[in-house]
Amino acid sequence: MAAPPDHDPDALGPDRLLLIVVGAHLQAEQEHRPLGYRLRESIVRWQAGHPQVTPLRPVLCTDLWYLNAEDLMQRPTIAVGAPGLNAVSAFFANRLPTALVIDQSLQVQLDPEFVTLRACVWGVDERATASGIDLFETRYLDGFLRSAHDLPEAGE
């Protein structure tokens, strides 16, 4: 049975996608994919609280898929997982400024002005990466999503 069009990323076209990228590595699949799904649910909740926007579809994919699809690389993207486990995190590592580092155990990289809609969140282990996702959601997700959906900053 085919998925309804609103659940089929191909039916939406890449211009309506927001990508959450995890590594294709087995450890990344086990540790980071659940964090990616949790992040996706936070994005869906944010969108539900902003009914005036035409929501972007948050879709999880692997780094191999993302890096081999030029149209996906142009979309707002959040990479989850350390550069050793996620090739997109490695790709972003020298291209994005570091917004937050805690005790060399977790890192959030992104453009703090949200002009470049790419982010990378990772930690030295599963627990640190989960903490990084928590901090990203608390400190940066609203601004990232406002920019991705062409909304003014909160309070404007």
Q: Which structural domain, as residue segments, surrounds residue 19?
A: 15-148
Query: Does 104 reside within a domain?
Result: yes
Mean pLDDT of 132-140: 98
Residue 46 pLDDT greater than 70, yes or no:
yes
Distance CA 51, CA 46 (A): 9
Query: Does 4 reside within a domain?
Result: no
Query: Does 156 reside within a domain?
Result: no
Domains of the chain: total? 1
The pLDDT tens digits of the residues spanning 87-102 come to: 999 999 999 999 999 9
Percent of the chain with pLDDT over 90: 85
Specify the pLDDT at position 4. Answer: 39
Query: Does 5 reside within a domain?
Result: no
The pLDDT tens digits of the residues spanning 54-85 come to: 999 999 999 999 999 999 999 999 999 999 99
Q: What is the CATH number of the domain that holds 117?
A: 3.30.379
Q: Cα dist. 71→5, 18, 84, 109 in Å? A: 20, 12, 24, 22
Query: Does 153 reside within a domain?
Result: no
Percent of the chain with pLDDT over 70: 91
Mean pLDDT of 18-23: 98
